Structure 1
């Protein structure tokens, strides 16, 4: 697949394309070459205010909220259809923007986004209330309605998927949206704005503001016209977002960092387990908050597993993301690459055994790092405890099931976890004890819009996907009607 020609991007506000009020622009870098791909408008506080006002007007005066769930569902179905009709262009944009291999973009990123809109199109007409039986002499029932204007703030690693995971349920519930994509990866968000318009979404229902997090993102967090914030990103910025939004007494959903453990028990099917282990830490070049960068192996298998990984991992194809044979592309940017280099240097300093990788790769000027496996680090090493967010796997042995669970739960994160075992009872038992929002057994990254995921501990709170996500974009109202025949005289 060739590199697409990208027109300079503008802001999408109130159904219109416009430059930022300051005229400022920012560069979008192709991570596979380090060269400028295009520029996009850099929104400031004035632009964010215009976007929020447009979303508020669309919510209070436009037709979207008044539509039935079935009518909104038809529009969401049309969005899904347009995503699939434009799959080739979306694949090219996402690969260019993030450095994702095209072999993954089409079946994973693009198809998942389409699936999300289809799923919430179906759920849109299920938002009804319930009659409640009470001892009151009254008829009591509940209704569910939209919250209002939602700020969707999304990260660089899965721009299309993680924006759809917020925008689709927000729209299904009848909300309007202001989307702020990551500074580095705004291209699919701007392309999707055009698809929303073509699908018949009324003006102002979705607005896209590109720009710097400390400016545009901060303005969104603090804007009084926002009714809910849905944020995916680092734990540090998530803490700040929670503080700002919480002070305003508004709801917030936070899907934050992760450092998932992958447990391989002695009874595991080793061939399948190794495949899942490699997928878990190299998928998306390790830039996956639900990746598996910590491998815990039953001691009798420890050296065997290390030997297999040392031989297999260097054979994983690394290279140009436009090459259909590539499995691991570049890091999304130079700062992400430097962070990985710092962690691997620390691993060496802490006495880690580098089995393979451990170096930057010189490929066409891009931000490439060799998939790396590190053994023999102590559990308190920062390389084990912190989120690296790159293609680095640490490996530790364990002696008992209890020790495996203790090690798995020993970090401050709790987003995902994985188990490799052929013992069904063990799978249920250990999954119940792992402190994570989602646990995979005998594979990794099995995700579907119907299955919720989210974090515990420093990995955040709230859930993406499933009816749980849809409910989080609604508010409940109770109506209690007296059935008494007697009137009250004053």
Structure 2
């Protein structure tokens, strides 16, 4: 499967050196993409810059019609997109199908939200004066996306950018570029004009470097690690770019002693083991009150035992491969560190290598302590460390002892206690009796070192708009 760059409506890069894309479950080469750099990225930016005046001058209804066509095409090709996603990044096929639907929901949502970009009039403070606030697109957008949600992280940026009237250049990850290319092919099939959507694959340092330094790029949107996000913030200063960052997480799950334990177990399973724990909002540490501690762990272990590890294309697989050996090694390091310091492994605790691919079994650790590595770093794997807590406020204190603030979860059947915990959590997203809170109509983003800005909901399109104040003398 050979794929190319998409620049100004043309598929290019056939003469460039190629990057191989491997299936992390089998090691097979499943495709190639060109290794682009500064020159290709500049051409893509120039194309987007040239296309911007005409695209931004279309009515919101005209831009909406293109997005609605794209939405229909994504659903029409759901099975194809899902299989491609599973082949290049490993998640179970049923999860990939869910991601395609989730991705398409953003395209549908912003196809309509673009029609609701409203300005306002302000009561003047002088006679013969009109005061207005107008909204206009920010300009050319550079998007840098991660490997763990190859379709959703693009759709969540592409749809509001186009709906707002911006043009778009995307740099997908080297590990999972094929889904991105297929989405752009569907953009072309939907009739989106030349230059409005552009894609460049290749060296992150060169592609991202040009996106950050080029003055035609007025906004950068990035999903990835906090470490890289900080570097992009520094680089954006040179041209004072508008920037949105969805960065690392270290999500706590709090289970209060009035929780419906079965509901809590299902919620923790959904949060922790989705995508093999390789998500930015998955629960990374679990705090359970002492009264229900043993009962919760017993039911949690019994439920997690049912999860099957394997190739995501095989029926019955719940947890696919780790994306690479580095990811596997980090999980192993966290587990062994916790066990060496007194945690008890009550399920799993090991992985395996097969044909150069890496898998880790669902793992549950109990009697975990605050100082252990796994309670202070994002694991990004199928491991649930559980710590016993006494009071609601103790759970809140431990939950907030991190520089991150993306997502958190609480399980409680009490409105009073649940609200107390929710209000006390320094997180941008909180799932209350809900292990999977994300939705196109809701804002997604973090506090503290987990990012800047929000994606989804009304806030998601605001990130691609400038505010212009106009004072008119009559």
User: TM above 0.5, one fold?
Assistant: yes
Following TM superposition, by how much is the alpha carbon of 1:135 offset from its aligned partner in structure 2, in angstroms? 1.2
Aligned to 1:488: none
Query: Does the alignment pair 1:226 with 2:220?
Result: no
Aligned to 2:6: 12
Give deviations 1:152-184, integer Å, cap 9, x for gaps. Answer: 100010010011100100000000000001110
Aligned to 1:117: 107
Contact 1:453 1:465 in 2 (8 A): yes
Structure 1 residue ranges (4+ consecutive) displaced by more than 4 angstroms after TM superposition: 362-365
Q: Aligned partners of 1:347, 1:156: CA distance in 2, in Å? A: 28
Q: Aligned partners of 1:242, 1:86: CA distance in 2, in Å? A: 36
Q: Aligned partners of 2:315, 2:366: CA distance in 1, in Å? A: 31
Following TM superposition, by how much is the alpha carbon of 1:313 offset from its aligned partner in structure 2, in angstroms? 1.8
- Does 158-167 or 357-366 show the bigger shift? 357-366
Contact 2:14 2:34 in 1 (8 A): yes
Matches within 5 A, 1:20-59: 23-59=16-52
Query: Does the alignment pair 1:175 with 2:166?
Result: yes
Aligned to 2:273: 282
Following TM superposition, by how much is the alpha carbon of 1:436 offset from its aligned partner in structure 2, in angstroms? 0.5
Aligned to 2:123: 133
Q: Aligned partners of 2:369, 2:318: CA distance in 1, in Å? A: 30
Aligned to 1:142: 133
Following TM superposition, by how much is the alpha carbon of 1:147 offset from its aligned partner in structure 2, in angstroms? 0.8
Following TM superposition, by how much is the alpha carbon of 1:286 offset from its aligned partner in structure 2, in angstroms? 0.4
Following TM superposition, by how much is the alpha carbon of 1:356 offset from its aligned partner in structure 2, in angstroms? 1.4
Residue ranges of structure 2 left out of the alignment (5+ in a row): none
Query: Does the alignment pair 1:335 with 2:313?
Result: no
Following TM superposition, by how much is the alpha carbon of 1:427 offset from its aligned partner in structure 2, in angstroms? 1.6
Partner SS, residue 217 of structure 2: coil
Contact 1:34 1:366 in 2 (8 A): yes
Following TM superposition, by how much is the alpha carbon of 1:363 offset from its aligned partner in structure 2, in angstroms? 4.8
Matches within 5 A, 1:385-400: 385-400=376-391
Following TM superposition, by how much is the alpha carbon of 1:306 offset from its aligned partner in structure 2, in angstroms? 2.3
Q: Aligned partners of 2:263, 2:203: CA distance in 1, in Å? A: 42
Partner SS, residue 31 of structure 2: strand
Question: How many residues of Structure 1 are paired with residues of Structure 2 in the alignment?
Answer: 473
Partner SS, residue 227 of structure 1: strand
Q: Aligned partners of 1:364, 1:432: CA distance in 2, in Å? A: 48
Contact 2:35 2:201 in 1 (8 A): yes
Contact 2:351 2:360 in 1 (8 A): yes
Equivalent in 42, 46, 65 of residue 56 of structure 2: 65
Aligned to 1:482: 473
Following TM superposition, by how much is the alpha carbon of 1:429 offset from its aligned partner in structure 2, in angstroms? 1.9
Following TM superposition, by how much is the alpha carbon of 1:479 offset from its aligned partner in structure 2, in angstroms? 1.3
Relative distance call for 1:411 and 1:196 in structure 2 (3 A) is same
Partner SS, residue 449 of structure 2: helix
Partner SS, residue 113 of structure 1: helix
Aligned to 1:467: 458
Contact 2:31 2:178 in 1 (8 A): no
Contact 1:221 1:245 in 2 (8 A): yes
Query: Does the alignment pair 1:374 with 2:365?
Result: yes
| TM-score under structure 1 length normalisation | 0.94
Contact 1:34 1:367 in 2 (8 A): no
Give deviations 1:249-307, integer Å, cap 9, x for gaps. Answer: 11110000111111101111011111111121110110110001211000111122223
Query: Does the alignment pair 1:152 with 2:146?
Result: no
Equivalent in 381, 396, 412 of residue 403 of structure 2: 412
Aligned to 1:447: 438
Following TM superposition, by how much is the alpha carbon of 1:365 offset from its aligned partner in structure 2, in angstroms? 4.8
Contact 1:319 1:363 in 2 (8 A): no
Q: Aligned partners of 1:350, 1:151: CA distance in 2, in Å? A: 44
- Does 350-359 or 395-404 show the bigger shift? 350-359
Contact 2:345 2:365 in 1 (8 A): yes
Aligned to 1:486: none
Q: Aligned partners of 1:389, 1:371: CA distance in 2, in Å? A: 12
Partner SS, residue 385 of structure 2: strand
Equivalent in 225, 250, 254 of residue 245 of structure 2: 254
